[in-house]
Amino acid sequence: MYMDRDVLIYALLLTMVMIALVLVGESRPDVYLSITILMYFIYTSINYSIRSRARLRILDAILLFVFLAIVTYRVLEVLRVI
């Protein structure tokens, strides 16, 4: 029951953020993805009930890797390396 509520809250937060990004005219896909990943880590850290009921280590590792790849790409882009 609490898990349902927590997942629903996360989905609603995600929807609100996506709508906000669309309204400000953001068109870079990696921004959407990196914001989603940040929200995932922040929400599952604040609300620990999802982590206590499910093993999210593999998903954490994958999303962290993707986030680092996005950040690295953007940093290299700013530094005009790529």
Partner 1 sequence: MEYRYLVAGINIALISIIFIVFSLLSSNNVVLGISISTLVLGSLLLTIGITYTPPLRDLLRIYVSDADLFINKIFEDSGLVSNHRFKICLDRGLATFSNKNIDCRDITPGLGVVGDTIYISIPIKSLITRTTSELVPESRTELLDYLREVLVGRYGVCKDIIVEEGDDEISVELISITREAKSLMNTPINSIRIAIPSIISRFLGRSIEVVHEEFVRGNYIVRVRRV
Closer residue to partner 1 (CB): 42 or 54: 54
Binding map of partner 1 across residues 15-54, x = CB under 8 A, - = no contact: ---x--xx---xxxxxxxx-xxx--x---------x-xxx
Alpha-carbon distance values, 68 to 20, 38, 77 (Å): 24, 11, 14
Q: Provide, rounded to whole angstroms, the least separation between the CB of residue 78 and partner 1.
A: 19
Q: How many residues can be counted in the chain?
A: 82
Site residues (vs partner 1, CB under 8 A): 3, 7, 10-11, 14, 18, 21-22, 26-33, 35-37, 40, 50, 52-56, 58-59, 62-63
